[in-house]
Amino acid sequence: MTVDLQAVKTDLYEAVNGEWAKTAQIPADRPATGGFQDLVIDIEKLLMNDLEKFASGEKELPNEQMAQAVKLYQLALDFDRRASEGTVPLQVELDQIEALQSYEDYQSIWHDWLLTGNASPVDFDLDPDMKNAKVYGLYAGAPTLILPEKNYYADDNQQGQALLQVWTTMAEKVLVMVGYDQEIAQKLVTETKVFDARLVPHVKSAEERADYSKMYNPMTVAEFAQATDQLSLSEIIKSLIKTTEAKVIVTEPAYFQALDQILTDHFTEFKSWLTVKTILGDASVLTDDLRIASGEYSRTLSGSQEAVNHQKFAYYFTMSYFGQVIGKYYGETYFGPEAKANVEYMVHQMIKVYQERLENNDWLSPATRQQAIVKLTHLGVQVGYPEKLPAYYEQLKIDTGKSLLANAITLSQQLKAESFSRWNQPVDQTRWEMSAATVNAYYHPFMNIIVFPAAILQAPFYSLQQTSSQNYGGIGAVIAHEISHAFDNNGSLFDEYGNLKNWWTEEDQSHFKVLAEKMIKEFDGLPYAGQSVNGKLTVSENIADAGGLSCALSAAQEEADYNAQAFFLNWARVWRMKATEQYMQLLLSIDVHAPNKLRANVQAQNLAEFYLAFDVQSGDQMYLEPDQRVQIW
């Protein structure tokens, strides 16, 4: 990669990625291309090819779980069969809805529908209890809206109005294709929008959801059940976790305060909402025409030009149920022990740097500093792929005599039932929540664990063929980013076991909030894609980026072949992305990450070493006055 080093002084990101962007083509079935996206494409090609070989017998199946995954893949790929079945597989669910005359009727099917993943007025989920992170707790939240974020519903949001019209046209079209009369389709869609509008004032915005401290609102089942008398919340909880002697962790209290008024005297709209949501949710597994038609709204949102082809659809559909099985196969087959050992070495180097940073921190009090180190030493690390799969995968069986939708319903019910069976059981720290074939990484604050799937552990993020500085500028910064999440504005609220517990002195917390506010101000209002960045929405990720890049730089400096320019150039390279304007604007509204270009440039501007590496001086566009540079960890 040849880079004009003088151009770095003007724009690091453009100097590294500008020439690439001139010729890069966004695939018609995607909203973006670039570093992350290119790896995704490579992996999907690799694994689709392997699934085809498994299906033809050219490649030997490694285990029974993969055999079931291949069966589902073949079933999902059989579009001729789906064409012959038409909408018949959907009729069972539509008949159930049509028979509903009251909320009492809905109560009788609610349990099964929750397990299926169909629309529900309450979203129940299992996760480690934020105040007792050793066991799984029951969470209750609000359903999703039609538009991607509540701010889209504002009267002056023309983009939201346009998107709602796209959704309306699509929904009516799909309902007619399923067999509804045009007039009835319009009525059902209109009533669905009316019910959706009742939810909007009471659900959290993306910015509000980004604050984890407001998620924990525990109630007894009896207290929670008082939210409405239209449905029995205690009865549905008992059906899910087999007891009412439980704590319900409410993530959206304002929604449940309004739930009774949302439901009361609005059963007709609720029933229409169920109907439309169910049809749109199931359409992609019916005929190909319905699959394509039901994706028009999401493609408009992202700017994608066309639906994915049949093979990609089958692949991603299979991944949605057998992602851990396929991920484990991917890790074992394509992620070697040498790479695993090298990445684990880098992780421990990052932890070592972080510990040194904490030990030498000059603004934390001794008590808080010591607790931070305790949290760091308790940090769980998972690299590559899981050693074992959850036992429930042995129970998943594909019935090729049934339709794809019928199999999807059965699989969803089995997976959800297994999830709820873990209520009040010990948290399994070895359990992966992300497929090893996923190009991503994460920190789980309720478990105090960082996870790096095999799929992201390749060039440009990481390669045994890259220099150590390139690797630290890539995967090293990603690793340290995830560690930094343990100490960002959300992660810092949790102790070494993942419990929501204040371990800061009041003075330290106040100082940290001042630093976090500086990070908010540094990004807030930065122009991008015709709009601007929300500093509050992105603050936790920006804090993690800053800590990640800074710590990765320190680790790189300890290596014999350290090269500052190589470090920063690869940092900018991994963030390369060319995307549709629609997709960039969507991310500005809902994504807790800042735009890739700004992540690359602003975080580099915060580090003195960047200025030294490229001789950036006052007057250069990349120059940021020292008092404006933000550093926290």
Could you list the active site residues? 482, 545
Cα–Cα distance measured from residue 448 to residue 379, given in angstroms and rounded to the nearest whole number: 6
Which candidate, 318, 311, 399, places its Cα nearest to that of 89? 399
- Cα angle 416, 422, 424 (rounded to 5 degrees) comes to 135
| Length of the chain measured in residues | 633
Alpha-carbon torsion (331, 336, 340, 342), positive or negative: negative
Q: What is the 3-state secondary structure (H, E, C) of 237-292?
A: HHHHHCCCCCEEEECCHHHHHHHHHHHCCCHHHHHHHHHHHHHHHHHHHCCHHHHH
Which candidate, 40, 308, 248, 3, places its Cα nearest to that of 127? 248
Cα–Cα distance measured from residue 445 to residue 238, given in angstroms and rounded to the nearest whole number: 28
8-state DSSP, 453: E
Give the E-state strand segments of 278-414 in sequence order: 380-384
Cα–Cα distance measured from residue 184 to residue 357, given in angstroms and rounded to the nearest whole number: 64
Cα–Cα distance measured from residue 425 to residue 439, given in angstroms and rounded to the nearest whole number: 30
What phi and psi values does residue 126 have, to the nearest 5 degrees? -115, 135
In this structure, are residues 543 and 519 in contact, taking their beta carbons and an 8 Å threshold? yes
The token duo for 105 is: 């009727």
Cα–Cα distance measured from residue 453 to residue 434, given in angstroms and rounded to the nearest whole number: 8
The token duo for 428 is: 């399994």
Cα–Cα distance measured from residue 501 to residue 494, given in angstroms and rounded to the nearest whole number: 5
Which residue do the tokens 């991944």 mark? 319
Cα–Cα distance measured from residue 431 to residue 313, given in angstroms and rounded to the nearest whole number: 27
Cα–Cα distance measured from residue 403 to residue 304, given in angstroms and rounded to the nearest whole number: 29
